[in-house]
Amino acid sequence: MIPAFELSKWYADCTSEDGGALIIYHAELRWRTSAIHYASLLIHGGGLPPRSLFSLRKKPPPVVHDGRIVWKSSTWNAEGNWCEIGSALREVLIESEAGCVEWNCVAPRSVAEIRIGAGRPHRGWGYVEHLRLSMPPWRLPIRQLRWGRFVNATDALVWIDWRGSSNRQTVYHNGVSVSARTINDQEIVFTDGEAVLSLDKGTVLREGALGATVLSVLPSFQRLFPASILGVHECKWLSRAVLRRPGQADSFGMAIHEVVVWP
């Protein structure tokens, strides 16, 4: 039986030491009698403010093959490669009669290169994840969500923290599940107090209500989604970050992180 609601959403990124970032979103939504395809590129670098490109054309999703991930877009004459992706992380974040949310962190850390047109390739450290939802987002037991990833040559840290009628925290450091006593927009503090990730919130990559940002490009979007989703507020940052642990050298890198608040 095909679920009444099914969303497949890919997220892939690349951050460089010079403070550049490129984020790819690829989603397919099947709901009622509709099938919606959505792709976007969020680009930051070169001294310019962040900008986004959007497409509603049907495109193939990223492909995982022979230890790497490949994504191509003929619309933007673009291609991305994530190599040395290591072991994936998987969890069912929610499972109920209303549906489920499956999280597959395909590449917690990878060597990434993304090329757009004839421009200089974006190279750096990358992260890739895939979400599958059979539960509509407006039925999620969440009022506030924090998500982020910090990646460099030695460390890969990803966190998911939501608050609502059902609270949940998912944190992995170098493939090992850990817990955190503090997760906010400035720092992640491990429960044992042995590690602290500090975030500078240096660049706002995107901010605003979803109805005015990512969903505004969809035709008749105001009739497709309830007001509770259109009013969801997102703020996404690119931060220079440092992971500090007693007796070890400081670990510097770039983090992408966000807070999402339901009205």
pLDDT digits (tens, 9 = 90+) for 217-230: 776 666 677 777 78
- Contacting residues for 181 by C-beta, under 8 A, at least 6 apart: 189, 190, 191, 193
Is residue 22 exposed (0-12), middle (13-18) or buried (19+ Cβ within 10 Å)? buried
Angle at 158 between CA 157 and CA 162, to 5 degrees: 145
Q: How far apart are CA 89 and CA 251, in angstroms?
A: 22
Q: Which DSSP letter does residue 263 get? A: -
pLDDT in tens, 160-189: 999 998 899 999 999 999 999 999 999 999
The mean pLDDT of 45-62, rounded to a whole number, is 90
Q: Which of 96, 160, 171 has the alpha carbon at shortest distance from 131? A: 160
Q: Can you give the pTM of this predicted structure?
A: 0.94
Residue 119 has pLDDT above 90, yes or no: no
Q: How far apart are CA 92 and CA 134, in angstroms?
A: 12
Count the domains in the chain: 1
The residue segments making up the domain with residue 224 are 5-261
- Contacting residues for 180 by C-beta, under 8 A, at least 6 apart: 159, 161, 169, 171, 188, 189, 190, 191
